[in-house]
Amino acid sequence: MAKEFKRASDRKLVAALDIGASKAACVIAQLTEALDGDYEVDVVGVGQHGASPKDKAPDFDAAIRSAVEAAERMAGDRIRHVHVAAAGRSLSTRRIGVDLDIEGGVITREDVVDCLAQGARAAAPEGSEPLHAFKIRYAIDGEPAPDDPVGLAGAALNAEILGVSVKDSYVANVESMLGRAGLELDEIVAAPFAAAEAVLIDDEKELGVLMLDIGARTTSYALFDRGVLIGCGGIGVGGDHITRDVAQIFGAPITYAERMKTLHGSVLTGPGDEHRLVDFPQLGDGAEIVRH
């Protein structure tokens, strides 16, 4: 999924950057070729920096520079190219059908690649560029086909595809910010898909699972069924909104509401939750502590 580049030290490095609403995070990994021809991935540098100091406008340029510099110091090497994770409302998805005529009568790997590429382009709305095309199901001449149809005979390859695209304006803004930091963009990856690849196992994807990645201002999601990605995107609600709701409901300072959310917040209820009490300091100088 990620391209690689070689430094003068002959280290094969790949760098990823996540630019969120409240912070930027960078990770640098070293790729070591294994005996089977694949690569072993070792994280050699990480860094993050807040973009939204209290009572100030977000400074994404400074956050990117600081996060990258911290990761470079840990890695002991410099980077010039990064892969950026796109999330939230910058992404759009569309399910689309593609019919590809097979000239030679037997489906080749190039036919499959062409089919996915056509789907990615067709699914991208105006003002967006395609990122990914995920196969949902294949058919040959209208009949169900296996996940890998290469080598099978047929006159037409039919595919249902999930196309993921990103807004042109987002790409332009990212390239501009990276340029000011002395970096170049290698590629953009849909953040919910990347997060799902990192945290989900094959059985979860096969049985059906919804992965949520809750950021400060947005929440991204990836939906899998029968091992296939069938939906991903984002909504404009994140952890900051939850914190403010807690603060407003209990009349508590925002910093304390954030702490309570982190320590006691849970999606699932447990035995005895209704009997557990939590102390909340109230707003105002010398305000009392109220138990809820």
**10, 64: one domain:** yes
Q: What is the pTM of this model?
A: 0.80
In a domain, 182, yes or no: no
In a domain, 292, yes or no: no
pLDDT at 141 over 80: yes
pLDDT at 61 over 80: yes
The reported pLDDT for the residue numbered 144 is 94
Model confidence at 57, pLDDT cuts 50, 70, 90, reads low
Number of compact structural domains in the chain: 2
Q: Average pLDDT, stretch 125-151?
A: 94
* Contact between 232 and 212 (Cβ < 8 Å): no
Q: Rounded CA gap, 281 and 278, in Å? A: 10
In a domain, 281, yes or no: no
**62, 118: one domain:** no
In a domain, 31, yes or no: yes
**112, 55: one domain:** no
CATH of the domain at 36: 2.60.40
pLDDT digits (tens, 9 = 90+) for 115-124: 999 999 999 9
pLDDT digits (tens, 9 = 90+) for 202-256: 999 999 999 999 988 899 999 999 999 999 998 889 999 999 999 998 888 888 8
Find all residues with CB under 8 Å of 283, minimum gap 6, and list them. Answer: 251, 252, 253
In a domain, 53, yes or no: yes
In a domain, 70, yes or no: yes
Of 165, 189, 217, the last residue of a domain is 165
The reported pLDDT for the residue numbered 273 is 73
The reported pLDDT for the residue numbered 52 is 66
* Enclosing domain of residue 98: 92-165
Q: Dump strand ranges (E) for 51-170.
A: 81-86, 91-101, 128-140, 143-145, 156-167
Of 165, 192, 224, the last residue of a domain is 165
**73, 124: one domain:** no
Q: Average pLDDT, stretch 262-281?
A: 79
Q: Rounded CA gap, 224 and 193, in Å? A: 10
pLDDT at 8 over 60: no
pLDDT at 261 over 60: yes
The reported pLDDT for the residue numbered 50 is 84
In a domain, 34, yes or no: yes
**69, 120: one domain:** no
* Contact between 134 and 120 (Cβ < 8 Å): no
**26, 74: one domain:** yes
CATH of the domain at 151: 3.30.1490.110
